[in-house]
Structure 1
Amino acid sequence: MKKFKKFKNVESNALTSDETHKEISPKLTDNISILKELFKDCSDIVFRPIVAGKAHAFVVFVDGFIDSKSVELNGIRQLLEEVETERISANLLMERVISLSSVSETSKLDDVVSNVLKANTVLLVDGLTKGIIFDAKGGDRRTVAEPQTESSVRGSREGFTERLRVNTALVRSRVRSNRLKILSKDIGEETMTGIAVLYIEGIAAPNLVEEVLSRLDKISIDGILESGYIEELIEDSAWTMFPQIQNTERPDTVAANLLEGRVAIIVDGTPFVLILPATFWQFFQASEDYYGRFQIYIFLRFLRIAFVFIALTLPGIYVAVTTFHQEMIPTSLMLSIAASREAIPFPMFVEVMIMELSFEALREAGIRLPQVVGQAVGILGALVIGQAAVEAGIVSAPTVIIISLTGISSFTIPRYNMSVAFRMLRFPLIFLGAMFGLFGVVLGVLAVLTHLCKLRSFGIPYFWPLAPMSVKSLKDVFLRVPWWAMDRRPNQLVKDDVVRQTENTGKIREEGSSS
């Protein structure tokens, strides 16, 4: 495995004053002056003073991060009621005043600052050397909805959101086991982005979990804004177009992979969760493959793999055959292609490149424009440009058909990042076909296969279970065997708890048919 780049370990400098390393002072005014200096020109930081009898206090929070009604009902109002009858103490505040489930205390000012920035609320009381931290998160956030990039015919309609704890809860609701471990950490000196590492103890290999945590600990960066940052920083090889870590918006996909011994990484602020290690074949599996009749999805998997080959090689083969190997084309078809190209001023290579680049530009425009407009631009652009280009004599009709079939084939790949990799690799194969004919296309395909066999993802061969060959694990590659036949977890990932189901599970159908 290629060594992961070592980052220089430096302490976070997000707290710019040495004052934050002090203990909380019994003088409330001293604490508030330090905090106000640290949060100078931060208009979203709220310092809410409270006076109850002789007691003075401050509630500190970030506006827009918390549910102000919850703070009022479960914190401020009860503080005003209790202070009249009893002497205030940290225990009193935690046990009787703050009626929320998540309450803790701290004696450090830097803990106060970090918790405020993590969307927690802090209560500081005059005369106390401890601050009370409680979770009253709220504000407007996107609710759980159907995933935008992984729609399915059958299965869950729930997708991840941008909130870390909502996402961990979605996974926990599917894996209700105390063996599901969720380890939290913050990455990013300025952003302090919350990260959660999920795995099932006893199923995930301990060395895999240690490797993931080790790579995350070596990251020293100013900010993490999306899970793509993490993906690029911890992957084995940066010099490849093929994704070595799967991302998904679906909680059921994460749960299924955890049960196979993989590790998931959830990043606060993004609905895309990372799953690792990943193999090449994993990117051609859709979630509904496991929810329907296995005979149907065996056919669909073969269809996807066949169309992947078409998406990669068809333009290159077309250029190679029409340029160097015309004898391979039936005479009637060759005459039809020759007649359509009679008025075309460009060689076949240039013609195909014009259409490929136009198709990619239309696809990119359709993604970047608003959804309603983008769909219209994509459809009308393809029709108008294709028809106009043929009538103007810039490209031939067979070329438009070839490029259209290639584009449709790339849409059959369930994972967008794998689809983009094959789209990019088409261009070198077109060039090789124009230079060396079919010999060049075959060399290009062999180079891609060799590259795939050399890749690894967290120690797992990328082309496994085909290379190296594992016959037992082929049950879920080209085929999707019935659930009663998938009685073992992948042997490359799981070494201990390899049994997925007992033998009696496979006998249910026999008992049913006999009765």
Structure 2
Amino acid sequence: MRRFGGLVKKRSYRKQKLLAKQQALLVEVENEKKAELLSIDLNENIETIRSTYHNSSDVIFRSFAIGKRSCCLIYISGLIDEHEVNSNVLKPLMNSHFESPTFVDSLIEQKLSVSESEKLTSFNKIYQKLSAGYPVLLIDKTVQAIAIGLAKWEARSIEEPNAEHVVRGPREGFTEAIDVNLSLLRRRIRSPRLAIHTQLIGQLTETEVAVAYIDGVAENTLVEEVKVRLERIDIDGIVDSGYIEELIEDQPYSPFPQMISTERPDTATAYLLEGHVVIFANGSPFALVAPTTFYSLLQASEDYYERFLIGSAIRWLRYLFLVMALLFPSIYVAILAYHQEMLPTTLIISIASSREVVPFPVFVEALLMEIMFEVLREAGLRLPKQIGAAVSIVGALIIGEAAVQAGIVSAPMVIVVAVTGIASFAIPRYNAGISIRMLRFPMIVLAGTLGLLGIMLGVITIVIHMCSLRSFGVPYLSPLAPIKQKDLKDVLMRAPLWKMNSRPHLTGDTGQSRQAGQQRPGASRGGD
């Protein structure tokens, strides 16, 4: 009994100690909340903000009076429209002489001739608004401040996208300003069903991120999954949408991109109409499209602006170039190293004569040439635009010709590498092209060690990996694996627009109609 009584006393003591800790924690939280709230004393509020921005010379404190009440307008130089502040804020307020029990509400309703204003009660909100370019008005004898919507950011004008050129199609591209990007989207989709959900990500940058989708077209589970993954991000800052892509994709170790990045508003609009979700990040001209499939990476917006026969033919060429970009060097290495009997006698004699003075095996020769080609391509990208193309072309011609004449590499290998490089340029998405370029090197290694058997093993491994890959729950090789017959109209070929009556089945309902039937064009059958 004594032992039992001792255990009861110990448990009650532990409970009391736990309750005391919880109460202390609650008191601490309450004190922190109180410390975050504005004081009724104007000077105390100003000193608190000054201490926060004590190392920032671009934070301006402009003191003035409204009648007998002292005020202070705080803003960050360069983020506001100073002319509008002078004419719509300072001038009308300094000429005012009134006192009201609802002083803040009266200012907003009667004196501030701006379209957007918000009442603030905490220092954290004030810091957020100041960083967003809002002037903040502090008023004596009140615990409320006013954030005034007069932000003015310097932004790049709307230009043609550099990464996604088209011969026929719109010439507009996204910019670094998220408001401009969303307005470009609204101009194309004028329905109120276009929903945009915004949130701030990044503890230091507080980057505005927007999720756009069409209500009733995008599946609710997909939209919620995107929002959950974004809310899960806990990072110091977001500099570009590439940060978001890497933090929310399904399989980060896969070489294949699981989201599409686009600079084109028309491309983003087309994906929204098919039930996808588009993600924007402030400061980045690239929007992310989720989910995506492998076949989407080989589709260009111009496929849908030309007639369907032309679009289908070009798409078949892209599939051919994809295979060449991945396998052409490895097949050349495998045949020359292990399967010379596959070539005609005349061709093998010609290749052998060109390789007489080459000191390296074909496997090493291929690796050296591919590495050199990638270096030249990277140098052309990093050099200034005026000389980048010239240096890469001249470098390739001079180095290639000199290497052949010196007997370091053979002329057929130069041709193989050049054709492979041109084939990789035909892939519309830059990130998909990088993936193929990465996979080309292990395929060359497999061909140099196991011949055609190694190439077969490499291709099987890639296909198995792609079959297991998902993008926000959607199979990467859909609609071919698993097969969906209704969605095959826009995969290997591009069917006529008047035949694509239903939306692709992603995660929503199968067979959603997007246009009326019986729209095949032709001469009118009415009349005489």
Shorter-chain TM range is over 0.9
CA distance in 1, matches of 2:489, 2:360: 48
Alignment partner of 2:305 out of 283, 291, 310: 291
1:478-507 deviation digits (Å, cap 9, x = unpaired): 111111111100123331781110125x15
Query: How big is each residue's C-alpha offset from its partner over 1:246-293, in whole Å with a ceiling of 9 and x where there is no partner?
Result: 111111111111111111111111111111011101111111111111
1:137 offset after TM fit, Å? 1.9
The letter of the residue matching 1:165 is D
Instruction: Say if 1:71 and 1:513 are closer, same or farther in 2 by CA, change over 3 A.
Output: farther
Runs (5+) with no aligned partner, structure 1: 1-16
Does the 8 A contact of 1:235 with 1:457 survive in 2?
yes
Cα distance in 2 for residues equivalent to 1:224 and 1:94 = 34
Q: Is the 8 A contact 1:122 1:133 kept in 2?
A: yes
CA offsets, 1:218-253, max 9 Å, x none? Answer: 111111111111111111101111000111111111
Mapped partners of 1:248, 1:227: distance in 2: 11
Query: Which amino acid in 1 is paired with 2:506?
Result: Q
Aligned partner of 1:459 in structure 2 is 473
Alignment of 1:411-426 (within 5 A): 411-426=425-440
2:217 to 203, 206, 214: 203
1:138 corresponds to: 152
Alpha-carbon separation, structure 2, partners of 1:492 and 1:224: 29
Q: Distance in 1 between matches of 2:153 and 2:258?
A: 36
Shift of 1:141: 1.8
Code of the residue aligned with 2:90 in structure 1: it is I
Q: Distance in 1 between matches of 2:34 and 2:359?
A: 73
Alignment of structure 1 residues 245-256 onto 2, 5 Å: 245-256=259-270
1:318 aligns with 2:344: no
The aligned residue for residue 364 of structure 1 is 378
**Post-superposition shift, 1:295?**
0.9
Give the SS at the match of 1:124. Answer: strand
Matches within 5 A, 1:182-221: 182-221=196-235
Counterpart of 1:478 in structure 2 is: 492
Q: State the partner residue of 1:172.
A: 186
Q: 1:325-344, aligned counterparts within 5 Å?
A: 325-344=339-358
The answer to whether residue 520 in structure 2 is matched with residue 512 in structure 1 is no
- Shift of the alpha carbon at 1:44? 2.3
Partner of 1:54: 68
Per-residue CA deviation, residues 113-142 of structure 1 (Å, 9 max, x unaligned), is 111122222111223322111221214221
**Aligned-partner residue type, residue 52 of structure 2:** L
Aligned equivalents of 1:122, 1:60: Cα separation in 2? 5
Deviation per CA, 1:175-232: give whole Å up to 9, x if none.
1111111111111111111111111111111111111111111111111111111111
- 2:132 match: 118
* Secondary structure at the counterpart of residue 364 of structure 2: helix
1-structure distance, mates of 2:390, 2:300: 27
Indicate conservation of the 8 Å contact 2:297/2:432, yes or no: yes
Q: Secondary structure at the match of 2:73?
A: strand
CA contact 1:260–1:493 (8 Å) conserved in 2: no
Query: 1: distance between equivalents of 2:63 and 2:493?
Result: 65
Q: Is contact 1:25–1:31 with CA below 8 Å preserved after alignment? A: yes
List per-residue Cα deviations over 1:441-476 (Å, max 9, x = no partner).
111111111111110001000010110111111111
Given that 1:203 and 1:496 are in contact with CA atoms closer than 8 Å, whether structure 2 keeps it comes out as no
Most deviating of 45-54 and 228-237: 45-54
Residue type matched to 2:507 in 1? L
Q: 1:349 touches 1:431 (CA, 8 Å); kept in 2?
A: yes
State how far apart, in whole Å, the 2-side matches of 1:233 and 1:51 are. Answer: 49
Q: Is 1:244 matched with 2:249?
A: no
**Partner of 1:476: helix, strand, or coil?**
coil
5+ residue gaps, structure 2, are 1-30
CA contact (8 A) 1:260 1:494 kept: no
1:42-66 CA distance string (max 9 Å, x none): 2222222223443322222222222
Deviation at 1:421, TM superposition (A): 0.3
Question: Of the candidates 44, 55, 74, which is equivalent to residue 30 of structure 1?
Answer: 44
Deviation at 1:439, TM superposition (A): 1.1
Q: Distance in 2 between matches of 1:389 and 1:333?
A: 22
Q: Tell me the residue number matched to 1:103.
A: 117
Structure 1 residues 279 and 89, CA gap change in structure 2 (3 angstroms): same
Q: Identity of aligned pairs, percent? A: 46
Q: Find the counterpart in structure 2 of residue 402 from structure 1.
A: 416
Q: Deviations over 1:14-65 (max 9, x none)?
A: xxx9488543223211111111111120222222222344332222222222
Secondary structure of residue in 1 paired with 2:503: coil
Alpha-carbon distance between aligned partners in 2 of 1:378 and 1:160, rounded to the nearest angstrom: 29
Q: Is the 8 A contact 2:280 2:287 kept in 1?
A: yes
d(CA) in 2 for partners of 1:351 and 1:514?
A: 69
Are 2:441 and 1:446 aligned? no
- Per-residue CA shift, 1:270-328, capped at 9, x if unaligned? 11111101110111111111111111111100000100000000000000001111111
1:86-101 equivalences under 5 Å are 87=100, 89-101=103-115
Distance 1:496 1:59 in 2: 56
**What is the alpha-carbon distance in structure 2 between the residues aligned to residue 169 and residue 340 of structure 1?**
60
Instruction: Number of aligned residue pairs: give it.
Output: 496
How far off is 1:84 after superposition? 3.0
1:217-232 map, 5 Å: 217-232=231-246
Shift in Å at residue 387 of structure 1?
0.7
2:207 touches 2:281 (CA, 8 Å); kept in 1?
A: yes
Q: Name the residue aligned to 2:3.
A: none
Q: Is 1:375 paired with 2:393?
A: no
Contact 2:61 / 2:73 at 8 angstroms: preserved in 1? yes
Please tell me whether the aligned partners of residues 275 and 506 of structure 2 are also in contact (alpha carbons under 8 angstroms). no
Paired residue for 2:364, among 327, 341, 350? 350
Q: Confirm or deny that 1:69 pairs with 2:83.
A: yes
The higher relative CO (CA closer than 8 Å, separation ≥ 6) is in 1
1:84 aligns with 2:103: no
1:496 & 1:72 partners in 2: Cα distance? 57
Q: Partners in 2 of 1:474 and 1:44 — Cα distance? A: 58
**1:108: how far off?**
2.1
TM-score of the superposition, structure 1-length normalised? 0.93
